[in-house]
Structure 1
Amino acid sequence: MANLALTSHHGASQSTAQLPVTVDPALGNPLLRDYDNLFRIFYNYPPLLNATNIASAYSECKALLSLADMYEALPVVGPRIDHHLLRFSSRLFKQIAKYPPSYLKLGYLARSRIIFSEALTHVVGQWPAGLPYIKSPDPNGGGYEVPQSVIDLIEDKVDELEELKLRIETKLFRLTLTTSRGERVNPVNDYLGWLAMSLWRQWLAENTTPEVRGILKNTSPSSSSRPGSANPGGANVPPRRTGGTTAGDTATLAVQHPPPPPPVPVNTGRVFRMIGATNPEAFLPRDELKRFLKIQPPGHSTSAVYTRDNLRRFERKIDEIKNVARDIVKPLTRNCLELDVRSFLSDGQGGGGGLGYLTCMRCEEEDIPWEI
């Protein structure tokens, strides 16, 4: 009897957190599962959400938030979702980097400042790639989409980023070397320094401006000869036509003169990351400098510039330019993410790989598009 009493007393003292949670098999239905989690939260019980697979957890949280939005229960459900997803830690931030528009919408509904800010930084850096995924077709922001206030916030951050990039790019083009007397280098006082500046500005211009497309030549059949229409003089002359232009001729002219394709936008974010990289071989490596000095001027059989001593001096000039440029682009290459972007570097040495876009725009406290 004593043993039975002791066992009974020990069982009664167990907390409810230690008791096994039995899941109703009927909750395999997603709708029933969502309602079960909703009422669990209403009665201050933790929801039964996937704690191992972040993709499944995202789907369950998204469905639960949609249901809570129908019952105007987002202020109650949102903190639970925020707490559950943040337990994934670094896995969550890597997932946000893969699908920033999706987590931007989820972070907004859950009123999660960390998730929303993290996703916003990615979306702004990739803009306008994420616009089709976050802009609501409903002007009132209905459904599982973000309202217009979030779109306005993104566009403001994009404008701020573009202004910053313009200022940094201007400073990079104005970057110059000086002699020991403090004079700007020119072909007279420092020829190698002037060559280094010329090469730097040429590289910067080629990597920050769209590709220049040539003018297409007119290759219409009307300007060429046609077989089988020879005139008595032996020249091939197209036969004359009387009357107006047919619909087929109009279509042919439209095909002959297509509008030029728009220029491909330059990924300047990757260029700025290359400039800010700690690896000196990220751009303008030694082999390229050597080839540059070996270029033969017109009318000369050999290069009058390339020597081993000049190559070493030229490398020092370029390194000096790189060091100054690296300091200039620091406002653009800073990381405002919770994610450690070093894990995304392709070479592991800061060689300009990684995300390929800028992550320097932070969502401040006053930028949050909901009442805190």
Structure 2
Amino acid sequence: MNQPEDVEVVLAHDRHYKFHANVLARNSTLFAGILTEPYAVKLSNKAKNAGITTRWMIELTTLPSSENPAGKLELVELNNMGEPLDGHVGMVLNENGRVPTKVFEYYESIFYAFYNNEININDDDMRGALEDAGEMITIAEYLGCVPLISKPIDVALAKHGQTMYQAIATIPVGWMRLGLQIKSELIFKEALIHLVGNWNRIKNDPEMMSRVRDLPFNVRKLVEEHHEMLVHKSKRLEQALVTAYPGGMLEPSKWHPIKRDEYARDVLVWMALSFYRHWLAQRIVLEQGSTAEDGGFKLYSQIGQAGEAYMDKSVINQFHTRAPMTKKAMNVLENHVLEIKECMKGHVEHHGVLKSLCQLDVYRHPVEYLTCVEVLRQDIPWLHDEETIVQATGSKRGKRPGGNEIVQRNLEAAKRFAEASEITFDAGEEDDEEDEGGWSKRARYE
């Protein structure tokens, strides 16, 4: 048997919705405090006989603003026929040529999500999708239902695939904040990789750093720790490059002690290695390695390609002007340089600095920084917190939470979001004072 729809939500004069009080209260901490018997109208027998079931009416009376980012919902006083005492039917919005507001669509998507409907996210462009997600999260924080819509928003955004990953690479700080809000491992990890890889450039940008400082302290610390690990990884590669002796240069003979004429036969190999280290040392001294804005990406990419990607004939000729030799010797030396390049290419591959660990297809959509940042599950802030709670409570391995525990967790999570956003509701109070950013009552029932 269908349950009576006993709540009417009025977003505008042409946007009226009928919902169930138990569904709204179960999914929203704000509604849980409002949709209680003290605020419900007692319908007359005439109303009941007429099929009227509305016992609460909630109206959106204020559009989003700097003071009320999600707008403001108010309880409407009803008569015993379930009709507004003041005859009000919702705001009439005159946009007068301005960009139409989408706040109604956002509220509608969230309300329908209470009934397991799919969240609607902009499919035209990623910037619009991010805007939609951000606005809906703001409203969800106001309603106290972020945990409920987090996963649907995460799934809706993930459908954009490479378009989303490109957007994350462009504005990683904004996406990291969103990832934290909706607890999306995918978004958070992707944003972290791009933020760490591009950190040398970001930390020299005052505007970007001001956004980074708005992130929670533990997240900023996480970024800095992973950047230090990335720099350490790059320096280990540089050390390997400057200390490598390709082939059998160090031991041209199996018989010890090795005579000098044995080494003399490889003089051109030693000259080639000297030229190579000369070039590499210049690059590092000029801060094109791990201390460069791109974290050494360009330098390591050249070394990883080998061949004519760097130290081409024009560069080799500069060495020949300082150490002149015959044409034949020059050709032999150049061949040795190519062999050394192939050896150094192997070191780059071994250290994995050019390996991409992000979801972005860097071959189709290249970025100019390293994306070899490894993010583990214990690096995800909320997963780390949950693991800490499990260890503290001594939960047994293999035991899964039951229904009551899941509901309790969701309720506590919603309350934490409400407290973080300074959302309050005074359903149990006996006065009519309004709490800024929280629930305000247009009327009370006697």
Distance 1:264 1:162 in 2: 10
In the TM superposition, residue 339 of structure 1 has moved relative to its aligned partner by: 1.5
The aligned amino acid for 1:282 is A
What aligned pairs does 1:268-307 form with structure 2 within 5 A after superposition?
Answer: 268-277=296-305, 280-293=307-320, 295-296=321-322, 303=324, 305-307=325-327
Residues 1:94 and 2:166 aligned together: yes
- Measured after TM superposition, the shift of residue 35 of structure 1 is 2.0
Aligned to 1:167: 236
Return the match for 2:274 from 184, 188, 198. 198
After superposition, give the CA deviation of every residue in 1:128-177 in whole Å (9 maximum; x if it has no partner).
44455476688xxxxxx531121111111111111111211111110123
Partner-residue secondary structure (3-state), 1:289? helix
Q: Is the 8 A contact 1:102 1:133 kept in 2?
A: no
Conserved in 2, the CA contact under 8 Å of 1:117 and 1:363?
yes
Change (3 A) 1:274 1:296: closer
Aligned to 1:244: none
- Going from structure 1 to structure 2, the CA distance change for 1:133 and 1:313 (only over 3 Å counts) comes to same
**What one-letter code is carried by the residue in structure 1 that aligns with 2:162?**
S
Which of 313, 331, 335 aligns to 1:312? It is 331
- Taking the aligned partners of 1:161 and 1:185, their CA distance within structure 2 comes to 44
State the Cα distance separating 1:269 from its structure 2 match. Answer: 2.5
Say if 2:294 and 2:368, in contact at 8 Å, map to a contact too.
no
What is the aligned counterpart of 2:340 among 318, 321, 341?
A: 321
The residue correspondences of 1:65-84 to structure 2 (distance < 5 A) are 65-84=137-156
2:308 is paired with a residue whose SS is: coil
**Contact 1:193–1:317 (CA<8 Å) still a contact in 2?**
yes
Partner of 2:175: 103
Q: Structure 2: which amino acid aligns with 1:313?
A: V
Q: Distance in 2 between matches of 1:42 and 1:296?
A: 77
User: 1:26-52: per-residue Cα shift (whole Å, max 9, x none)?
Assistant: 794233332222222223222232123
- CA pair 155-296 structure 1, distance change in 2 beyond 3 A: closer
Instruction: For 1:163 and 1:109, locate their aligned partners in 2 and report how far apart those are by CA, in whole Å.
Output: 31
Higher relative contact order (CA 8 A, sep 6+): 2
Cα shift readout 1:268-313 (whole Å, capped 9, x = no counterpart):
2221122112x521111133224432x055xxxxx3x141x32332
8 Å Cα contact 2:304/2:344 also seen in 1:
yes
CA distance in 2, matches of 1:124, 1:264: 13
Contact 2:193 2:371 in 1 (8 A): yes
1:255 is aligned to none
SS at match of 2:364: helix
Residue 148 of structure 1 is aligned with which of 217, 223, 237?
217
Q: How many residues align?
A: 275
Contact residue 106 and residue 136 of structure 2 kept, 8 A: yes
- With normalisation by structure 1, the TM-score equals 0.66
User: Distance in 2 between the 1:52 and 1:267 partners?
Assistant: 34
List alignment gaps of at least 5 residues for structure 2. 1-13, 16-91, 387-446
**Which secondary structure state, in structure 2, belongs to the residue aligned with residue 361 of structure 1?**
coil
Letter in 1 for 2:355: R
Alignment match, 2:416: none
Gaps of 5+ in 1: 1-22, 139-144, 212-262, 298-302, 345-353
Cα shift at 1:121? 0.7
Summarize the Cα distance change of 1:363–1:137 in structure 2 as closer, same or farther, 3 Å threshold: closer
1:55-94 Cα distance to aligned partner (Å, 9 max, x none): 2111111111222233442211111111001111121112
- Superposed, 1:26-45 pairs within 5 Å as 28-45=100-117
Partner of 1:338: 359
Equivalent pair of 1:207/1:268 in contact (CA under 8 Å): no
Paired residue secondary structure (2:382): coil
The answer to whether the 8 Å contact 2:120/2:156 transfers is no
1:159-308 alignment runs, 5 A limit: 159-177=228-246, 178-179=248-249, 180-181=252-253, 188-210=264-286, 267-277=295-305, 280-293=307-320, 295-296=321-322, 303=324, 305-307=325-327
Q: What's the CA shift for 1:362? A: 1.9
More strand by share: 2
CA distance in 2, matches of 1:134, 1:39: 37
Q: Quick one: structure 1 residues 193 and 170, their matched pair in 2 at CA, closer, same or farther if it must change by over 3 Å?
A: same
Partner amino acid, structure 1, of 2:283: N
Two-structure CA RMSD over aligned residues (Å): 3.1
* Gap change, CA 1:98 and 1:306, over 3 Å in 2: farther
What is the percentage of aligned positions where both structures have the same residue? 24
Q: Which moved more, 1:180-189 or 1:264-273?
A: 180-189
